[in-house]
Amino acid sequence: MSKLIEVLTKDGSYSLRSLFFQENFHSLLGAFEETKLKFTAPSDLQRFKGKSLNVLDICFGLGYNSASLLNELIKQKSYLNLYALEIDKKPLEYSLKNKSFLKLWAPKVKKIFESLYRKDYFEDHFFKCSLLWGDAREKINFIPSSIKFDLIYLDGFSPQKCPQVWTIEFLSKVSEKLNSQGYLITYSSSAAVRKTLRNLGLEIFTIKPSLNDRTFWSQGTVAISKFDKNKLNTSFNFEKLSVMEEEHLLTKASIPYKDHNLNSSKEDIIKKRLEEQLLSNLVSTKKWREKWGMTKSAFRS
């Protein structure tokens, strides 16, 4: 799990590559930029200026998403109750040793991360933070049921590499922890993930690509528990799914990942889904790509 290689991304920020998962923690275009575009901006943190919020960061990793969140909340003097889930301590250890990473944030972020690394906990007048180490499928049960989250970040390795955190059963547990008007935000535009979230009763939106990068048709997904249509405006970083994206949800790619007892292996989850796809009468994902002139590399799942 801890076999990691340092990666320098195009925006000058550092990331890691997991040899276990055979996948990078971030896009090579930029770890810092990806965090801003796919997590911080869609969070619309101005809503919480001078107020308090609850946040759940699933698959904490190097801590980019939580660091960016903390950095913004420090500026606007908001109060935060943060829970983070992570199975591997090595990425956080790396972040605390990387001067380039630490320079991206206010000094207080380093202090919080050091406390999370040493004691799994940090608390002061503004922030209360807890980091639960272990399998997210298990550790999510350690969060008090009374706590509902305004924001949930889901940033695990891709569904093909780590399906355990993208199954119907796990996403059901996650969505139950959203409060009214809560946002679940992920970089994934996977049809299986989006269809699952919609079937769980969430309103689904696509994160707009940046003006500087039109490589991808979507930069991720925002799922809202009880969406107020009057609150969506053009200044938001997300919008309704396009016709192309809606059609993606009608293909075999939309067949969900399943993990009935929340303890299945990656191999079992993928095998069962593949068997279900082979028996399905849904349109093939290949035909969807051909219709819309998409190449396989043109989107991240």
Tell me the per-residue pLDDT of 116-155, one tens digit each, with 9 for 90 and over. Answer: 999 999 999 999 999 999 999 999 999 999 999 999 999 9
Q: What is the phi/psi pair of residue 274, to 5°?
A: -60, -40
Question: Can you give the pLDDT at residue 227?
Answer: 74
Burial of 3 (0-12, 13-18, 19+ CB in 10 A): exposed
Helical segments of the chain, H only: 31-35, 41-43, 64-76, 90-97, 99-103, 107-119, 136-139, 168-176, 191-199, 243-248, 266-279, 285-291
Does residue 231 have a pLDDT over 90? Answer: no
Does residue 26 have a pLDDT over 70? Answer: yes
* pTM for the model: 0.94
Does residue 28 have a pLDDT over 50? Answer: yes
How many whole angstroms separate alpha carbon 201 and alpha carbon 207?
19
Question: Can you give the pLDDT at residue 215?
Answer: 53
Please say whether the beta carbons of 92 and 63 come within 8 A.
yes
**Residue range 263-286: mean pLDDT, rounded:** 96
- 3-state secondary structure (DSSP) of residue 202: coil
Tell me the per-residue pLDDT of 76-125, one tens digit each, with 9 for 90 and over. Answer: 999 999 999 999 999 999 999 999 999 999 999 999 999 999 999 999 99
> At which residue do the structure tokens 């990806």 appear?
34
Give the DSSP H/E element, type plus range, for residue 132.
strand 127-133
How many whole angstroms separate alpha carbon 273 and alpha carbon 258?
7
CA dihedral 228, 83, 36, 11 (to 10 degrees): -160
Question: Can you give the pLDDT at residue 115?
Answer: 98
CATH superfamily of 30-298: Vaccinia Virus protein VP39 (3.40.50.150)
Q: What is the phi/psi pair of residue 69, to 5°?
A: -60, -50
Per-domain residue ranges of the chain: 30-298
Q: What's the mean per-residue pLDDT of the chain?
A: 92
Question: Can you give the pLDDT at residue 49?
Answer: 93
> At which residue do the structure tokens 């989850």 appear?
269
Angle between helices 90-97 and 107-119 (to 10 degrees): 140
Tell me the per-residue pLDDT of 163-217, one tens digit each, with 9 for 90 and over. Answer: 999 999 999 999 999 998 899 999 999 999 999 999 999 999 999 876 555 456 7
